[in-house]
């Protein structure tokens, strides 16, 4: 009796939503599972069943390849990351393995403005304060939806996009992060990227091509930019310029999680401020390394190995896999493969 009454209520709702089929649906007495399957008809391909993401969020990620979570990192934590970054730039702390990168326009000019010249730091896995970002429970809670419970932090960055020098070199060309990674499967890799201040088109926000994570890894090369391109800032050689682009406007603390095949980049910084974001690429510890010989990734392997060899190699040969094995850190569960 109760069931008939709720079916009648449902019939009324369905008729409102869909006047033509509402009555027919009522005579069929849909179960709640059937109702759910109308709204979410297929299983999800890119996230795991762990009840953390809503069906709407899982559907959004499946379709778009990214998911933006508002206000995930507190202002106090961001302040601490800022302070630590300043200390690193001022050389008050030395971090083993850390790479400090200057914008190409600044690095190649004679006027170097000290810490103001730093465009990003990479590989801060040995810095306890910055690495806290990669272990934050509220971030890992989401990461686990993509990687599963055994989680490696593979690549860390604090990006300090400088005011553009006039050469447009502050742009980051459109690319897929998987180009840099010799591990798979891609679906078990995810980037977390947190805005450390409001980021919009004026200071060079992330630009994404929604849905491109469903495609394959594309050939990447240096873009043909007159004003110069930063070292290793490869871009997708050919992508459909007519695909819709979405500019991700984010407030301080907002965090976007995105798939490593999602084509993305960032525009130039037209402001006088240094636009800051902190990020970590995570992978399931169960991922495996691949040999990139004979693939489109050979060009980046060559550049990375050359730099690593110069910095650390001496006479021992270093492989691309080595450079990742030494940087990866377990942040949850068990270190199995990577």
Ligand X SMILES: Nc1ncnc2c1ncn2[C@@H]1O[C@H](COP(=O)(O)OP(=O)(O)OP(=O)(O)O)[C@@H](O)[C@H]1O
Ligand Y SMILES: O=C(O)CCC(=O)C(=O)O
**30 contacts: CB under 8 Å, gap ≥ 6:** 10, 38
Which residue in 161, 172, 188, 332 binds ligand X (CB under 6 A)? 172
217-276 residues in contact with ligand Y (CB under 6 A) are 264, 266
Tell me the per-residue interface mask from 178 to 217 with ligand IVC, x by CB under 6 A, - otherwise.
--x-------------------------------------
> Which one of 103, 127, 177, 254 is in contact with Fe ion (CB under 5 A)?
177
Q: Out of 232, 246, 290, 326, name the contact with ligand IVC by CB under 6 A.
A: 232
Q: Which of 126, 138, 140, 273 is nearest to 196 (CA)?
A: 273
The DSSP secondary structure of 111-159, one letter per residue, reads ---GGGGEEEEE--TT-HHHHHHHH-HHHHHHHHHHH-SSEEEEEEEEE
Please give the C-alpha separations between residue 285 and each of 255, 267, 282, 318, 336, in angstroms, as whole numbers: 22, 33, 9, 22, 5
277 binds ligand Y (CB under 6 A): yes
x-marked contacts with ligand IVC along 233-262 as a string, rule CB under 6 A: x-----------------------------
Q: Interaction with ligand X in 185-224: which residues (CB under 6 A)?
A: 201, 207, 223
Say which entry of ligand X, ligand IVC, Fe ion, none residue 173 contacts (CB below 5 to 8 A, set by partner kind): ligand X
Q: Smallest gap, in angstroms, from Cβ of residue 119 to ligand X?
A: 14
88 binds, among Fe ion, ligand Y, ligand IVC, none (CB under 5 to 8 A by kind): none
Asked if 160 interacts with ligand Y (CB under 6 A), we say no
Alpha carbon distance 330, 338 (integer Å): 9
What backbone torsions phi and psi does residue 276 show, to the nearest 5 degrees?
-110, 140
Half-sphere exposure of 228 (CA within 13 A, CB side): 15
Please tell me whether the peptide bond between 185 and the residue prior to it is cis, using omega within 30 degrees of 0: yes
**Which of the 8 DSSP states describes residue 313?**
I
177 binds ligand Y per the rule CB under 6 A: yes
Which residues contact ligand Y by CB under 6 A? Answer: 157, 159, 161, 172, 177, 206, 264, 266, 277
């Amino acid at each position: 009796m109760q069931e008939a009454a709720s079916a009648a209520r449902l019939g009324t709702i369905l008729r409102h939503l869909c006047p033509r089929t509402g009555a027919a649906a009522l005579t069929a007495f849909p179960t709640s599972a059937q109702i759910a399957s109308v709204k979410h008809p297929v299983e999800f391909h890119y996230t795991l069943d762990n009840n953390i993401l809503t069906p709407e969020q899982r559907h959004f990620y499946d379709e778009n390849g990214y998911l933006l979570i508002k206000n995930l990192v507190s202002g106090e934590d961001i302040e601490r990351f800022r302070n630590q970054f300043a200390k690193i730039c001022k050389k008050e702390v030395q971090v083993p393995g850390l790479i400090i990168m200057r914008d190409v326009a600044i690095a190649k000019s004679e006027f170097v403005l000290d810490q103001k010249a730093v465009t990003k730091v990479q590989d801060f896995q040995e810095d306890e304060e910055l690495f806290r970002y990669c272990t934050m429970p509220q971030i890992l809670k989401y990461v686990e939806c993509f990687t599963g419970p055994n989680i490696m932090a593979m690549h860390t960055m604090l990006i300090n996009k400088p005011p553009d020098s006039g050469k447009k070199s502050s742009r980051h060309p459109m690319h897929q992060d998987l180009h840099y990674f010799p591990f798979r499967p891609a679906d078990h890799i995810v980037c977390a990227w947190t805005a450390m201040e409001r980021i919009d088109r004026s200071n060079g926000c992330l630009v994404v091509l929604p849905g491109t994570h469903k495609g394959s890894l594309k050939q990447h090369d240096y873009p043909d930019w007159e004003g110069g391109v930063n070292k290793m800032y490869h871009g997708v050689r050919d992508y459909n310029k007519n695909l819709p682009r979405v500019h991700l406007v984010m407030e301080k603390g907002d965090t976007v999680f995105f798939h490593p095949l999602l084509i993305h980049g960032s525009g130039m910084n037209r402001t006088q401020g240094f636009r800051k974001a902190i990020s970590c690429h995570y992978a399931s510890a169960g991922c495996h390394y691949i040999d990139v010989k004979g693939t489109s990734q050979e060009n980046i392997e060559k550049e990375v190995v050359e730099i690593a060899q110069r910095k650390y190699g001496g006479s021992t040969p270093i492989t691309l896999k080595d450079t990742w094995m030494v940087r990866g850190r377990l942040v949850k569960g068990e270190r199995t493969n990577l």
